[in-house]
Amino acid sequence: MGVKKLRSIFMRYIFTVAGGILFIIAINVGLYMFCINTEVIIPVMNIEDRIADAAEEIQTSKFFDTADIPNFCDYGVYTPAGVFQYGSLSEDTANTFWEEATTNGKNIIPPYRVRVIERVDDVVLLRYRLTSQFNNTTLRRICPASDLLLVGLIIIEIVVLLFLVSHWFGKYTGRKIDKLLIVTQKIEKQDLDFKIESSGIFEVDRALSALEHLKQALKNSLAEQWQADKLRQEQISALAHDLKTPLTIIRGNTELLYDTILADNQKECADYIEGSVVQMQDYIETLIDMTKAKENFPFHRKNVKLSSLLQEIRTQAKGLCAVKNIYLEWRENVDREYIFADSEQLIRVFANVFSNAIEYTPAGKTVFFEVYEKDNSILCSITDMGSGFSPEALKHATEQFYMDEQSRHSKSHYGIGLYVADSIIAKHGGQLILSNSEKTGGAQVIIKIPY
C-alpha cells in the first residue's frame, strides 16, 4: 500500500461525502418519480388540472355526486344564500371559508386554496392544498406535503452519511496518528529496541522519521553513558581493591609497633596512623559498595523465614543502638511465615537505614521499629528522634552521593547508604518511602517488600 498525503486523504473524504450526497439525492428523486408514475403521489402540477376537471364535471352535472370530488379535497355544499347544508368540512370551518371566499373574494387561505363552484340549486366549495401529496388518505393525513417528506429524508440520510464517513475517517487517521503516540511513549520509557513502521501517511511518516532519528540518538547516547558508567565503576572497583593491600600492610605494621616500647608521642602517632588507616578502609568499602549498588551486586531470591530474618535484623539493630546508648522499641504485627527475598541484601538494607537513624538520634532517645502487613506486602517502618529529613532530602536522599547539610558534617556518611538500600529494594519490586514522623518529628523510612 502506497504512502498518501493528508491532502489526498482529505480530498478522498470530500469526494466520498459529495458522491454519497449525489447518490442519496438520485435514489430519493428516482423513488419520488416512481411514486408519481404509479400515482402514489399526486404532483403539484396535476393538482390544478384535476381541480379544473372536477369543477367542470360538478357544474355541468344535473345531480351532485361526491364521487366527482378529488380525494385530496375537502368540500362543503351551500344554498345560493350561503347556508351550509353538508360536506366533509365542519360547519364552523365551512362558514369561515365561505365568508373568506365569497364575501372577501379570497381563493387563497393559507395553507389552503379554495374553489367555489356555482350550480343551479346549490354552491359547492372545494378546499385543497396546492402541493405534491399522497393519494392515500392515511398517508396524506400523516404527511400533508410529500415534498417536505422527500427533503426531510434526504437531510436525515445526508446526516447519517456524514456521521458514518466521519467516523470511518476519524478511525482511519486515528490509527495512523496513534503510531506517533505509541512511539513517543516507548521513547519516554527508554524502550528503544523496536522498529518504527510506516503509517502510510506522508506527514505522519515524516514525524515518525524524526522520532526514529531521536530514538537512535538517544539509544547511542544511553549506550555510551552505560559504557562510561561501567568503565568508571570498574576503575573505581579496581582502584579500591588495589588500595586494600597497601593499607592492610600499613595497618599490620602499625599493630606491630604496639608490640614495641613506644614513647608517648610515638604511641600518639601510631594511634593517628591506625585511626587513619581504619577510616581509609571504610572509604574503600564505601567505594566498593558504590560499584555494586545497581546491577553488579549478587542477588539471589528464595523463600526466607520471616521470623528468622527479623531476629537477625533485631540483633544487629540492638548492637548498633547499644554503641550510642539509644533505646530500640520493636513491634511486630505479621502472620506470614515466608517471603521471597534475598536475605543477605535485605539485612544490608536494614543495616544502612538503622545506621542513619541511629546517627541522627541523640543519646538516650529511642529508635522505633514496626513491621506489619498491607496490600500483599510486608512494611517495615524505622523512625528516629532526630531533626528529620529536609524538604530537599525528601526528594533526593536516595540519589547517589547526595548529602544534605547534616550529612556533610558527618564522618560516616558519603551519600551511598540510602542509594544502595533503594537499589536493593527496587530489585525486590518494592519501595523505599521517605517521610517525617508526626509523632517524633524525626525521619521515617518505610521499606515495602511484596510477598
Q: Are 325 and 356 spatial neighbours (Cβ–Cβ below 8 Å)?
A: no
Across 168-191, average pLDDT: 85
Report CA-CA distances (Å) from 102 to 90, 116, 376: 18, 8, 95
The one-letter amino acid at 264: D
Q: Is the model more confident about 100 or about 187?
A: 100
The model's pTM: 0.49
Q: Is the confidence at residue 125, as pLDDT, over 90? A: yes
- What gap in Å lies between CA 383 and CA 439, rounded to an integer? 9
Mean per-residue pLDDT for 401-426?
68
Mean pLDDT, to the nearest integer, of 407-411?
Answer: 45
Tens of pLDDT, residue by residue over 211-256, are: 888 888 888 888 888 888 777 777 777 777 777 778 888 878 888 8
The pLDDT of residue 409 is 43
Count of Cβ atoms closer than 10 Å to residue 197 Cβ: 10
Rounded alpha-carbon distances, angstroms, from residue 201 to 92, 174, 264: 71, 11, 87
User: How far is 15 from 186, CA to CA, in rounded Å?
Assistant: 37
pLDDT score, position 198: 83
Set of cell numbers at residue 267: 604511641
pLDDT in tens, 58-77: 999 888 898 999 989 999 99
CA 210, CA 43: separation in Å to the nearest integer?
Answer: 64
Q: How many residues does the chain have?
A: 451
Closest Cα partner for 386 from 354, 424, 408?
A: 354
Q: What is the mean pLDDT of residues 7-32?
A: 93
What per-residue confidence (pLDDT) applies to 411? 47
Mean pLDDT of the chain: 87
Distances (CA, A) of 210 to 179, 180, 188, 264: 13, 11, 15, 74
Between 313 and 6, name the one with better pLDDT.
Answer: 313
- Domains of the chain, CATH where assigned: 44-131 (3.30.450), 193-292 (1.10.287), 302-450 (3.30.565.10)
pLDDT digits (tens, 9 = 90+) for 282-328: 667 766 766 665 555 667 899 999 999 999 999 989 988 988 899 99
3-state secondary structure of 269: helix
CA distance 209 to 215: 10
